[in-house]
Structure 1
Amino acid sequence: MKELYLTDCYVKEFDATVESVKDDKFIVLDNTAFYPNSGGQPHDTGMLVKEDGTEFPVNYVAKFGDNISHEITTPGLKAGDKVKGIIDWNRRYLFMKYHTACHILSAIIHNETGAKISGNQLGEDKTRVDFNLEDFDREQIKSYEGKVNEIIDRKIPVSIDIMPREEAFKIPSVVKLKDAFPPEIEDIRVISIPDVDTQACGGTHIANTGDIPHIEIIKIENKGKNNRRVYFKFVEN
């Protein structure tokens, strides 16, 4: 299966052939631009449309092994059917902006404190970043908001590169994740924001930081020993 979003996050529609159907609702295609629920980024939603115009809403997408399964709410698709996939673009684009903003905030937290990011979860109303930090200084963490917005205002191009394993591991910020990549993974997808952040990531991102609204840090939580959580949302520029 070809995952179109890995090389082009801006694919909104695509043509595909149904490869398999399970229980009349779990659809595997020969290629897809639907992002599966993974890495703290929620799945895409949208529609599969047959050549005769019949619509099959997609309400959940997940990856199982090498296959991406699209859960549809209306039965009727069969193996061999030709379909057009249509992404709910407003939802996808929002997550693209939040994901790139998450990379920027995570890079600032790491550069300022040395803290390692332990997780993140994108949402439609707000997004969170978890990190390991011994000293808990709310004012310091709140100050990162302005630094993120300054990077957004610099309108920095964001690039996606599929690199051979050996080349990717020469990047200091990627080599830290070395153990996360089994030996059979030969190519690694790297997201780069020049002078800000370079890291391996399978998610979708915008093409320029200037496309992200300003952020506001709305909540800072102490989740226990060395475990901190920051929530942020978008505000009008």
Structure 2
Amino acid sequence: MSDPVYRTDPYARELSARVVDHTDEGGVILGTTLFYPTGGGQPGDSGWIDWDGTSLAIATTVKGASGDSVLVPAEPTRLPPIGAHVVQRLDWERRHKHMRVHTALHLLSVVIPLPVTGGAIGAGRGRLDFQMPEPPEDRDALEAELNRLIDCDLVVSESWITDAELEANPSLVKTMSVQPPRGGGHIRLVRIGDGVDQVDLQPCGGTHVARTGEIGRVVFGKIENKGKQNRRVNISLDT
């Protein structure tokens, strides 16, 4: 199976495809999809699929039993028939905010180099939970350093390694709560910076911006106590 379009071209906003199946719950499976399914802390994409003068609103996307993206309609309604040709239209503004926040969270894990115990991405805001017994002494300095890295306009790219290579380099995995899927033969790495300018490299299946400057300014929110060993650091896009 070839890589889905949301991975090969995360900036694609429209795509024609054919309906290959329906789920028992009323979801739609397409032969090729733009829509990212919920996973790794990133919400599933929303948008619309159009066919024969009809537009179907998609509320979210989830991963099916076979790994396919299942498009979940906003409300129960008539589905495009199996075999129908449709046009997918992504809710691009929402997806792009997910991309900006996701890349910003990778940089946050650089600014706070502690084990990550959880995280979540939203449209304009996100958070990481860290193994951090005491709150940071200077949150303003952390915010300034995060924005400095963003302003460096570092390139964001991907590469692939084998399961065995990941096992030999366990330090690549920053998240304690979610481990990258193994057993598929290869694992995607997201790299921020290039060559001597590289600042981060970690397994990730989500969507990201092409350069960190695209994130824009980020502001820190609350740093919450989530137990003896955990602190939750919230961030949001300034615009």
Question: Is TM (by shorter chain) over 0.5?
Answer: yes
Distance in 2, matches of 1:207 and 1:69, equals 26
Structure 1 residues 180 and 76, CA, compared in 2 at 3 Å: closer, same or farther?
Answer: closer
Match of 2:219 in 1: 216
Match of 1:158 in 2: 156
Question: Which residues of 2 match residues 102-117 of structure 1 at below 5 A?
Answer: 102-110=105-113, 115-117=114-116
Distance in 2, matches of 1:204 and 1:28, equals 20
Letter in 2 for 1:161: S
Distance in 1, matches of 2:174 and 2:216, equals 30
Structure 1 residues 189 and 29, CA, compared in 2 at 3 Å: closer, same or farther?
Answer: same
Q: Is the 8 A contact 2:173 2:203 kept in 1?
A: no
Deviation at 1:134, TM superposition (A): 2.0
Letter in 2 for 1:192: R
Deviation at 1:151, TM superposition (A): 0.8
Match of 1:7 in 2: 8
Letter in 2 for 1:85: Q
Deviation at 1:24, TM superposition (A): 7.6
Match of 1:56 in 2: 56
| Structure holding more strand per residue | 1
Deviation at 1:99, TM superposition (A): 0.3
Deviation at 1:177, TM superposition (A): 6.9
Distance in 2, matches of 1:64 and 1:231, equals 30
- SS in structure 2 at match of 1:34: coil
Question: Which residues of 2 match residues 40-55 of structure 1 at below 5 A?
Answer: 40-50=41-51, 52-55=52-55
What TM-score, normalized by structure 2, do the two folds share?
A: 0.87
Deviation at 1:27, TM superposition (A): 0.5
CA RMSD of aligned residues (A): 2.2
Q: Deviations over 1:213-236 (max 9, x none)?
A: 111112111111111001111225
Q: Is the 8 A contact 1:49 1:56 kept in 2?
A: yes
Q: Is the 8 A contact 1:7 1:160 kept in 2?
A: no
Q: Is the 8 A contact 1:9 1:204 kept in 2?
A: yes
Distance in 2, matches of 1:232 and 1:153, equals 16
Match of 1:129 in 2: 128
Q: What is the percentage of aligned positions where both structures have the same residue?
A: 36
Structure 1 residues 182 and 203, CA, compared in 2 at 3 Å: closer, same or farther?
Answer: closer
What TM-score, normalized by structure 1, do the two folds share?
A: 0.88
Match of 1:205 in 2: 208
Match of 1:84 in 2: 87
Match of 2:30 in 1: 29
Q: Is the 8 A contact 1:173 1:198 kept in 2?
A: no
Structure 1 residues 82 and 162, CA, compared in 2 at 3 Å: closer, same or farther?
Answer: farther
Q: Is the 8 A contact 1:48 1:56 kept in 2?
A: yes
Match of 1:96 in 2: 99
Q: Is the 8 A contact 2:101 2:124 kept in 1?
A: no
Distance in 2, matches of 1:32 and 1:151, equals 32
Deviation at 1:82, TM superposition (A): 0.8
Gaps of 5+ in 2: none
Deviation at 1:59, TM superposition (A): 0.7
Q: Is the 8 A contact 2:45 2:95 kept in 1?
A: yes
Deviation at 1:153, TM superposition (A): 0.8
Deviation at 1:181, TM superposition (A): 4.6
Q: Is the 8 A contact 2:128 2:232 kept in 1?
A: yes
Match of 1:187 in 2: 186
Q: Deviations over 1:115-138 (max 9, x none)?
A: 20111111224211111012323x
Match of 2:39 in 1: 38
Q: Is the 8 A contact 1:108 1:148 kept in 2?
A: yes
Distance in 2, matches of 1:177 and 1:223, equals 16
Match of 2:78 in 1: 75
Q: Is the 8 A contact 1:24 1:75 kept in 2?
A: no
Q: Is the 8 A contact 1:158 1:191 kept in 2?
A: yes
